[in-house]
Amino acid sequence: MSSRVVSLKTVAVVCLFTFWSVAFECHADEETHKAELRKFEKDVCKKANVNYLLYFPAAYAQSKDAWPLVLWLHGDGGQPNRGGMAEIKSYGPPHMAEEGKEFPFILLAPQLWGDVHWDADILHALLQEVMHEYRVDADRVYLMGYSRGGFGAWELGCTYPETFAAVVPISGRPMTAVERLKDCGVWIFHGEDDTGVPVDGARNMYDGLKSAGGDVRITVYPGVGHDACSPAMATKELWDWLLEQRRKKK
């Protein structure tokens, strides 16, 4: 696969947040408190400066077809001051592509910009930019992530569930609102002996999605710690299943 390293600078994501606040009046001669209901409304903008790897299928340049896209979120260690791009390329789909694996999809692998969690709004803005610039099949956009990227996959997927056909969190911490992914295909991977991110969280996410009527699978590897990424990447059925998923129309 051919690859590019790209820097996306100053992409403004404009979100409208409405905050409600209350002001309390305290009277020395009364034990009761009176609350005044007030409203705060303001546009809040974020600026992104994101480096990312972009891998294209060998046939992309010669075809006019729209291609599936996989958005891969790396784990801790790929930040500019903590291993950088070399670390990002050392495992997961980027490593497979660097080793000569020909994927039948575009692979987008952003670099986490600091010692922070992945920001769902910034990632969504980056994804929309890439989808606008290149021939991407909007019904076959897939989200994968490992460790910190696994949590990022949960968060991004739950924040923008209408964007993805499938989500694959690997060794990721759980979060709330998992029922928002009930219309996406979800396959969870986790190591049974993971002491950093206990497997109970993954099982709870699975149970929550099942209860919501979601199409969800879970694979728990006995005797495996935090690195559930290696066996997951070696699972041929995962890639076959992934490419069969289509975004559900509403």
Across the chain, which has 250 residues, the per-10-residue mean pLDDT values are 52 44 46 81 88 97 96 93 92 97 97 92 97 98 98 98 98 95 97 98 97 97 98 98 91
Specify the pLDDT at position 32.
Answer: 62
- DSSP symbol at 117: P
Is 99 strand, coil or helix? coil
Specify the pLDDT at position 148.
Answer: 96
Q: Sheet of 136-146: strands edge to edge?
A: 2-26, 33-56, 106-110, 67-73, 136-146, 166-170, 185-191, 215-221
Specify the pLDDT at position 115.
Answer: 85
Q: Read out DSSP for 35-86?
A: EEEEEEEEEEEEEEEEEEEEEE-TTTTT----EEEEEEE--TT-STTTTHHH
Strands 33-56 and 215-221: unpaired
Task: Tell me the pTM.
Answer: 0.86
Strands 67-73 and 106-110: parallel
Specify the pLDDT at position 11.
Answer: 44
Measured distance CA(223)–CA(227) in Å, rounded? 11
Measured distance CA(127)–CA(152) in Å, rounded? 14
Q: Is-contact 79 111, C-beta < 8 A?
A: yes
Q: How many helices (H) and strands (E) does the chain have?
A: 7, 8
Specify the pLDDT at position 19.
Answer: 44
Domains of the chain: 2-9+49-244 (3.40.50.1820)
